[in-house]
A = this chain, B = another copy of it.
Amino acid sequence: MYMGHLRKFGNWGSVAAKLIASNALKLPSFHDEVRMWVFEEVLPNGEKLTDVINKTNENVKYLPGIKLGRNVVADPDLENAVKEANMLVFVTPHQFMGGICKKLKGKVTGEVEAISLVKGMEVKKEGPCMISSLISKELGINSCVLMGANIANEIAVEKFSEATVGYRESREIADTWVQLFSTPYFMVTPVHDVEGVELCGTLKNVVAIAAGFVDGLDMGNNTKAAIMRIGLREMRALSKLLFPSVKDSTFFESCGVADVITTCLGGRNRRVAEAFAQSGGKRSFDELEAKMLQGQKLQGVSTAREVYEVLNHCGWLEMFPLFSTVHQICTGRLKPEAIVHYRDHKA
């Protein structure tokens, strides 16, 4: 078993390790040991992060106070971490996935299955660059995805939550991943629609930006619910245009409606968009990000741009008024108020 996780994403990666570790111990069909690749850091006291994780069984930097399980072993060496693993769990920011796959090429052999928890793949003009496809293409292995309304810190303290596993072909493999992640407080449902599930995890960030504008303009719950609904509809419509195999029912799953709700209630995309609208669009997203996010970047703003380019390229702008309006507000071409000033083009 291998768990990849990097700094700045160590939070969700550590929680996923905790879920997996408890099941790996409990279920006889899995090896006990969960090896977790950790991007090495030296802590202020001079100790190495992996050493401290292995000594204390806590990710003291990214998930302090939570025991990961005694069968989790942190490993700073990527190649060593995947050695002999036959189940690979990817949890990193999406921009690192290309490099990681390159490093792993040829190192992963035999009957290996992968699952990606990576949200926010890029959407290029010629189509989205799915992380599950990247893994399959680069490593020659099958990859499922796991998405959903998953705020790491809430799952870490065992509050009830759900997730969706998207799979391409084998229901049996999907069921294995469901077994590995499910706990009484974390309910996982398999869905035969890997693209639909994965696209949800990316496109919802554009909806969160729209919801943040509504909050910043103090438009109330009615308007916010309407914008979230229209956003969900555009997510569904665009996913189906990009992949005709995508199913409507996927958007009723945790990865769909529930993740839209969570992301539009909390979340940094919503928060920074709220501040942007409060400033009347006068403070740029770059400025607000720098001030509010300590160097992290918002995925919603760049995804909105990527989506806009696809829509423009394909002649679909009119069909997606919310998505295109979000981008135009982000770039200053439209005022934040424009988020509710468009016609109802049925996507």
Contacts and interface: CB of A to CB of B under 8 A. Distances in A.
A185 interface: yes
B248 A233 contact: no
Contacts of A266: 221
A248 B259 CA distance: 19
Contacts of A344: 187, 189
Interface residues of A, number: 44
Interface in A167-188: 184-185, 187
Given A159-B219, A160-B219, A252-B236, A225 B149 contact: yes
B232 A254 contact: no
Nearest to A223: B160
Given A226-B149, A252-B232, A154 B221 contact: yes
A225 B258 contact: yes
A226 B160 contact: yes
B150 A222 contact: yes
Nearest to A256: B229
A23 interface: no
Contacts of A63: none
A251 B254 contact: no
Given A154-B223, A159-B222, A187-B226, 10 more contacts: A149-B225, A150-B222, A160-B226, A162-B226, A184-B341, A189-B344, A225-B258, A226-B254, A229-B258, A233-B252
Contacts of A159: 219-220, 222-223, 340
A244 to B, nearest CB: 17
A151 interface: yes
Interface of A: 149-151, 154-155, 159-162, 184-185, 187, 189, 219-230, 232-233, 236, 248-249, 251-254, 257-259, 261-262, 265-266, 340-341, 344
Q: Is the contact region of chain A dominated by helix, strand, or loop, or is it mixed?
A: helix
Contacts of A224: 261-262, 265
Nearest to A344: B187
A77 to B, nearest CB: 33
A222 B257 contact: no
Nearest to A161: B222
B151 A261 contact: no
B154 A225 contact: no
Nearest to A163: B226
Given A161-B226, A254-B226, A261-B261, A151 B249 contact: no
Nearest to A220: B154
